[in-house]
Amino acid sequence: MAELQQRTPSDSGATPATTPWIAAPSSSGDIGLKNATPGGLLMAIAVSRGWTDALGDAAWEQTMRVWTDGDTSGVGVVLLWDFPDDAVAGHDFRISMRRMAGEWTVERIEERYHCRRKLTADGRCA
């Protein structure tokens, strides 16, 4: 986002910004997803939600990362960037995970958008 902000001409009227994290819409595909590893769970969610689109088709860059805090909690992110859209530059997902009885499960899924032109008062890209 910092690079997009720097590349945007100051006289263009555009003010690229990022929305706050909010709860992502629920999906029946997430119900019951479990995995032995947090990375495996993140990949299963990404496939279930359709976040694994072919690069260059809907997004030019996709990154997936997982951090764990010991053996019981973790956070995974799916970062999608450079959409062929004049309003939305990127879309990120953050998945909070918990390990119980040897399996990782989803606690919550949040999302945020990176706005190419501006962020409206109601928190949307315009």
Kindly state whether residue 125 falls inside one of the protein's structural domains: no
The pTM for the full model equals 0.88
User: Which residues constitute the domain of residue 104?
Assistant: 2-115
The closest of 71, 74, 76, 75 to 102, measured between CA atoms, is 71
46 with 64: CB under 8 angstroms?
yes
Kindly state whether residue 121 falls inside one of the protein's structural domains: no
Kindly state whether residue 123 falls inside one of the protein's structural domains: no
Q: How do residues 79-96 score in pLDDT, each as one tens digit? A: 988 877 788 888 999 999
19 with 118: CB under 8 angstroms?
no
Kindly state whether residue 31 falls inside one of the protein's structural domains: yes
Instruction: Phi first, then psi: give them for residue 93, nearest 5 degrees.
Output: -125, 140
Counted domains in the chain: 1
Kindly state whether residue 120 falls inside one of the protein's structural domains: no
Kindly state whether residue 92 falls inside one of the protein's structural domains: yes
Distance CA 62, CA 53 (A): 9
Kindly state whether residue 104 falls inside one of the protein's structural domains: yes
Q: How do residues 23-77 score in pLDDT, each as one tens digit? A: 998 876 677 889 999 999 999 999 888 887 655 566 678 889 999 988 899 999 9
